[in-house]
Structure 1
Amino acid sequence: MSVSNWFETFNHNLRMSTQTVADITYRYKRITKQLNKDFYNSESDTYHSFYAGSYGRGTDILVSDIDMVFQLPYSEYVKYNAYFGNGQSSLLQAVKTSIEKTYKSIMKADGQVIIISFTDGVIFEIVPAFVNTDGSFTFADTNNGGSWKTTNPKPEIAEMTTKNKLWNRNLKRLCRMARAWKYKWDVPMGGLLIDTLAYSFMTDCSYKDKSYLYYDFISRDFFKFLSEQNLDQNYWRSPGARQYVWRKGKFEYKAKQCYNIALEAIAKEKYYPITAKSKWREIYGTKFPS
């Protein structure tokens, strides 16, 4: 197998199975249909909802948290905003009660989301929200007596998708590979920060439109890019929406370690391919072919 084949196989191994995606879609549509029935008197299983988070951006690799936004009618905002004392909590409870008509899995309203924990380990986090005139969304936060907050995931999704197509699908693949590294090395980075930094890196990457043959160089240069981030920088701006994306911890040293391992891997690829692959597995974990 060539370097190109190694990384193509690796990326294939990172993708969720067809059955897993089908199961997620089935649940998503059932939840959407029930909410539409109760809040819009509609039987649609697609209107007013969309995937957000890593799954929505198409950069997730593990079936864990599936973020989902459901747009409620503005009249519901007027109703719960008029409550005396944490109308936000009452709103989440109303949405939870609706979903319980369809799913009896372990469910709770927690802070800003309704969480459904399925027996196969998949967790849906549903954010009831109201669309604003600029396309962003207002959502409920039940903490500290209740308040309204704003998020803007659609421009992030759109920008990631647009650039991924422009850059030969390499952006989202890099995001997934970076997640494999995160899980292997226990790197303190959230999914949106990974995607934000991958997007920033790819913007100026010489190989952004190349094939799998260049993924060793892309990996090497990305780890170098991460290792050179300012240790005093606490936030970055997300693609598209330009929302604040906060640092969770120091990731630069682990990135530097893997940059050095990548250099070793590349040096061994031609004459010692087994050693080279072991180095890439040291970085990315067992999803990388042995």
Structure 2
Amino acid sequence: MLSESFENFVELLQVDNETDINTKFKSITKRLNTSYYSNTSEEDHGYIVGSLGRRTAIRGVSDLDMLFVMPKSKFKQYDEHKGNGQSALLQDVKAQIKIKYPHESIKVHGDGQVVVITFSNYEVEVCPAFENTDGSYKYPDTHDNGKWKRTDPMVEIGESEYMIDHTNEHFKYICQMVRAWKNNIGFKMGGLLVDTLVHKFLTNYPQYQTATFEDYLFLFKDLFCYLKGLKKDQKYWLALGSKQHVYNKGGAFVAKAEKAYNNIKDLTEESDELYDKLQEVFGSKFPVPETVQKAEFSSFAYRGSSERFIEEMFRVDIKYNLKIECEVKVDGFREGSLRKFLREGKTLLHKRELKFFIEENEVEDKGLRYEIYWKVRNRGPEAIKIKKLRGEIVKGTSQKVERTSFNGGHYVECYIVSNGICVAKDRINVPIFKTPFTMRIPT
């Protein structure tokens, strides 16, 4: 039964808009071939790279990374350009793509190393590059007056393809489930880093190279244990295949992996909380058998029709940092921050005002347009008894005020939606202490 849930889950994770993606890719490739090679091929000189190229992307992916190989004869023009030749290259490629997409509704702009085309539901990042003699590529970086960098995505794709075949598709499935975990919890972790660390895990634990879905509970216990043991401050990892540097960017995944490991380490197929815990880790889409849903004391029987999940409303592809905080007040006086309360294990009493607010929003820092949504979820016997589980997702502002009023373990989540995609999220728990509580919107 559990193995079927894992198998059904990975089926749900498969990319569902490949036709549209391939159509966009072919259109852009044709336009650039027309401009730079005087032919109308939809495939020559263009390559789908990134997670889609490595076949490890999941449903909801919001980026198509593509490489377009420029004529070698053009390199001297940009390399010897007076000023920033790399910027000049991006501007030229941008101008050619604008011929295909002249309307203002489709934004085309240069962004440091790529030309970004923003459609209504995802972005295409076009990286113009020149092929090196060893089969790798040099691509433009406009920063610091311009320079050329090296990339070798075909070797990464080749190694991913090998591992997918070697593991009977399970390398792909494991990478996809790690992405689902990342999106569900809400933290940044680049796709190449995901694939690289899963590759390293399978190399260190070769017994899982022949794993089936029946092994997944034990596999993910060991995978999260492996991830939580990595160095949070390690600056980079060597990518699968190419050995290029994949930067760690703070190592948020290490602490998140420890929490995931603690959530599932003691689980067996007979555990009462098995599916609750797996959904806490991988998200609400993780399939729960009907026999479990209908069990008399199952938590799933008490979820109520009002609860919503962000993945039901928007595509979810977490790419940016978001941090929410909560200020605790009593009778107008500040008691402190909720996160500090949690760290110190202090009791949070009834009749407190809780002001949740956004403390860090990387989406705003990048100048992107966005909308804010909030979710308040009550849990526990009292919430069930008086039917105050809540769980709606509502559009809001950068602040949300609630009040403590009855016992239970609860949480508040915030979501940032940009271009129709949830690109950042954060949760702050309001757990059970000596005097547990829940929140109600003040009247």
Name the structure 2 match of 1:108.
109
Question: Does residue 1:68 correspond to 2:70, yes or no?
Answer: no
Partner of 1:26: 23
Correspondence 1:9 to 2:8: yes
Contact kept, 8 Å, 2:68 with 2:126, in 1: the verdict is yes
**Structure-1 separation of matches of 2:139 and 2:237:** 22
Amino acid at match of 1:4: S
Residue by residue over 1:54-91, the C-alpha shift from the partner in whole angstroms, topping out at 9 and shown as x without a partner, is 12111111321110000000111111112110111111
In 2: Cα distance, 1:259 partner to 1:155 partner: 32
Partner residue of 1:278 out of 266, 276, 279: 276
Superposition CA RMSD, Å: 1.3
Would you say how many aligned residue pairs link Structure 1 and Structure 2?
A: 282
CA distance in 2, matches of 1:10, 1:240: 28
The answer to whether the aligner puts 1:227 opposite 2:225 as a matched pair is no
Please give the residue correspondences for 1:198-217 in structure 2 after superposition, counting only pairs within 5 Å.
Answer: 198-205=198-205, 206-217=207-218
What secondary structure sits across from 1:46 in the alignment? coil
Residue 169 of structure 2: aligned partner: 169
CA contact (8 A) 2:34 2:40 kept: yes
Deviation, structure 1 residue 107: 0.8
SS at match of 2:246: strand
List gaps (5 residues or longer) in structure 2.
289-443
Which secondary structure does the structure 2 equivalent of 1:101 belong to? Answer: helix
CA distance in 2, matches of 1:163, 1:146: 36
Flag the structure with higher strand content: 2
Counterpart code for 2:55: G
Cα distance per residue 1:8-62 (max 9 Å; x no partner): 1110111121xx1000000100000111111011111001011111121111113
Q: Which has the higher contact order (CA 8 A, sep 6+)?
A: 1
Q: State the distance in 2 between where 1:38 and 1:188 align.
A: 36
Matched ranges for 1:26-175 at <5 A: 26-61=23-58, 62-104=60-102, 105-119=106-120, 121-175=121-175
Q: How do residues 240-251 of structure 1 correspond to structure 2 at under 5 angstroms?
A: 240-250=241-251, 251=253
Check 1:186–1:130 CA distance in 2 against 1; reply closer, same or farther (3 A cut): same
Post-superposition offset of 1:271: 5.6
- Which secondary structure state, in structure 1, belongs to the residue aligned with residue 201 of structure 2? helix
Take 2:271 and 2:193, find their aligned partners in 1: how far apart are those partners? Answer: 36
1:262 aligned residue (261, 264, 268): 264
The answer as to whether partners of 1:190 and 1:248 remain within 8 angstroms in 2 is no
Structure 1 residue ranges without an equivalent (≥5):
none
Deviations 1:100-132 (A, max 9, x none): 12123111011111000001x210000000000
**Secondary structure in structure 2 of the residue aligned to 1:42:** coil
Secondary structure at the aligned position of 1:289 is classed as coil
- Secondary structure in 2 matching 1:50: strand
Alpha-carbon distance between aligned partners in 2 of 1:254 and 1:89, rounded to the nearest angstrom: 38
State the shift of 1:192 in Å.
1.1
Q: Which amino acid aligns with 1:156?
A: E
The answer to whether the 8 Å contact 1:188/1:249 transfers is no
In 2, Cα distance between the equivalents of 1:193 and 1:46? 28
Q: Distance in 2 between matches of 1:113 and 1:153?
A: 15
How far has the Cα of 1:230 moved from its partner? 2.4
Counterparts of 1:91 and 1:123, CA distance in 2? 20
Q: After TM superposition, which residue ranges in structure 1, 4 or more long, deviate above 4 angstroms?
A: none
Per-residue CA shift, 1:222-252, capped at 9, x if unaligned?
0000011123422111111111111112322
Secondary structure class of the residue paired with 1:144: coil
**TM-score normalised by length of structure 1:** 0.94
**8 A contact 1:48–1:72 mirrored in 2:** yes
- Computing the radius of gyration over CA atoms, which structure comes out larger, 1 or 2? 2
Percentage of pairs with the same residue: 40
Match of 2:187 in 1: 187
Check the 8 A contact 1:189/1:249 in 2, yes or no: no
Letter in 2 for 1:84: K
Provide Cα deviations, 1:235-279, integer angstroms capped at 9, x if missing partner. 111111111111112322221111121124x32x2263xx31111
Task: Tell me what 2:335 maps to.
Answer: none
CA distance in 2 between counterparts of 1:148 and 1:182 reads: 32
Contact 2:233 2:250 in 1 (8 A): no
